[in-house]
Structure 1
Amino acid sequence: MIVYEYPFNERIRTLLRLEDLYEKFVFFLQQEHPYQHHIALSTIFEMLEVAGRADLKSDLLQELERQRQTLLGFRSNPNVQTERLDAVLSDLDRATAALVAAQGKTGQNIRDNEWLMSIRGRTIIPGGACEFDLPSYYAWQQRPPRQRFEDITGWFSPMAPLFDAIGLVLRLLRESGRSVGIVAQAGSYQQMLQGKSYQMLRLAIDESLGATPEISANKYMLWVRFTSQGTDLKAKPVESDVPFELTLCNF
């Protein structure tokens, strides 16, 4: 199954973008070639651009506290698994404490590092990080993989609490919905939402069907249209029925 996610608002869109960047960062950080570590470092610079909103940290703290208060209300419910509830509450407390302890603007340690900022300025230019442009950076890339790994990890570590909080918030959001099996008649599906507020849509489809969803939605209506790719990779409307699973998520 391939899972597609669609954010209903700009806040969730930003969190999903940061999560995507973080997953790529972790992957390339674990590699050993200088080119792969270059991508990991460039990804940190992209994170700074996306996480530049001054209110992102406060938004996350408010959401973590809101989730905590909501979950505390379930303690008296006999149908709730106490151990699982306590584990989630512990995760919330830990993420909140780490985020509160993170001083200053997100990534300020990187902005204060002139050497890193010189690399950031050159990476914006196509091919701008060549050895003759940044000889000191080229020299750093020749260091042992373990040392490069530790350097990049150290530069990223002040940002880690933010991404831990993002991961927890998105996990709770994804777990808030229930999957429903649906068949898109002739490759198209519409659903009236009647003004109900949702944060995110998740759509799972069998990979073997070769169908790709194009999603548009607002608080009134959801529309999914399936397309397929030919040998020229151009999108063509699917005219047959397409079964899929739909999950509407909301805190």
Structure 2
Amino acid sequence: MILYEYPFNERIRTYLRLEQLFRRLAELVSRHHPLDHHFAIQTLFEIMDVGARSDLKSEILKDLDKLKQVYNGYRGNPAISEAALDQFIARIDACFNALHDDAGRVGHGLSENEWLMAIRSRISIPGGTCEFDLPAYHDWQHRPAELRQHELNNWVQELAALAQPIQLLMGLLRESGVPQKVTAIGGQYQQNLPQGRTFQLLRLWVDPALELVPEISGNRLLFSVRLMQRGPDGKLQIAADRNADLEVTLCA
């Protein structure tokens, strides 16, 4: 099954983007080819760009604080292990404190690295990191993979205070939903959302054997899915003559 996720607000949209970038970064750093490490550095810069929003840090801290209040409310519940609860709240506190104590914007330590910033100034230019532009970078790419990985992991640690709470918040958000089977009739499906509950994320699974691409739109009142298929010219068009079974999860 192919999973598609659709955020219902800008905050979750930003979290999803960061989560995808951190996943890509981890995959690229684990490889050994210089080209993989080039794109790992480029991903570092993308995370810094997304994390440059002035209100991002305060939003994450607010979400962590709300989360802690929710779980503190479970204290005294005989169905819940106090030891497990303490351990989880300690994890929330660790994420909160690390981000709170990280002065300045995301990746500010990387911004002080002149060598990295020289690459950043050239990497958005097509072919801007050739050896005649950045000979020191060209030399770095020819160093042993283990040395490059060591330096990359040090730079990744500069972003750990952001990566860990994003992973925690998105993991818990996804666990809040219950999957349901639905059927799109004539290539379309629409569902009203119950009032009094604010959903933040839609998760949609599509069987790849159907060869359909979902176009999702939504707001706090409803969401809709249009299933598209490739025509003879390669362009997407609505699969108006087809019904399809889907799996949907709404996360609040």
Normalising by structure 2, we get a TM-score of 0.93
Q: Is the 8 A contact 2:193 2:222 kept in 1?
A: yes
In structure 2, stretches of 5+ residues that fail to align are none
In 2 relative to 1, CA 187–129 (structure 1 residues): closer, same or farther, beyond 3 Å? same
> Greater shift after overlay, 104-113 or 88-97?
88-97
**Residue type of the alignment partner of 1:229:** R
Deviation at 1:54, TM superposition (A): 1.7
Q: Which residue of 1 aligns with 2:208?
A: 207
**Residue type of the alignment partner of 1:208:** A
Partner deviation per Cα, 1:127-162 (whole Å, 9 max, x = no partner) = 100011100110111111111111111122121111
Mapped partners of 1:241, 1:81: distance in 2: 46
Q: Which residue of 2 aligns with 1:119?
A: 119
Deviation at 1:122, TM superposition (A): 0.5
**Residue type of the alignment partner of 2:236:** A
Mapped partners of 1:8, 1:127: distance in 2: 37
Q: Is the 8 A contact 1:102 1:158 kept in 2?
A: no
Deviation at 1:83, TM superposition (A): 5.7
Deviation at 1:98, TM superposition (A): 2.0
Q: Which residue of 2 aligns with 1:147?
A: 147
In structure 1, stretches of 5+ residues that fail to align are none
In 2 relative to 1, CA 215–84 (structure 1 residues): closer, same or farther, beyond 3 Å? farther
Q: Which residue of 1 aligns with 2:243?
A: 241
> Greater shift after overlay, 25-34 or 79-88?
79-88
Partner deviation per Cα, 1:76-105 (whole Å, 9 max, x = no partner) = 334445565444323212212222232322
Q: Is the 8 A contact 1:203 1:244 kept in 2?
A: yes
Normalising by structure 1, we get a TM-score of 0.93
Mapped partners of 1:72, 1:49: distance in 2: 34
**Residue type of the alignment partner of 1:244:** L
**Residue type of the alignment partner of 1:161:** A
> Greater shift after overlay, 240-249 or 189-198?
189-198
**Residue type of the alignment partner of 2:245:** P
Partner deviation per Cα, 1:186-229 (whole Å, 9 max, x = no partner) = 22111122554211111112222222211000112211111123
Q: Is the 8 A contact 2:199 2:220 kept in 1?
A: yes
In the alignment, is residue 221 of structure 1 matched against residue 222 of structure 2?
yes
Q: Which residue of 2 aligns with 1:25?
A: 25
Mapped partners of 1:231, 1:49: distance in 2: 39
Mapped partners of 1:172, 1:79: distance in 2: 19
In 2 relative to 1, CA 162–131 (structure 1 residues): closer, same or farther, beyond 3 Å? same
> Greater shift after overlay, 52-61 or 17-26?
52-61
Q: Which residue of 2 aligns with 1:106?
A: 106
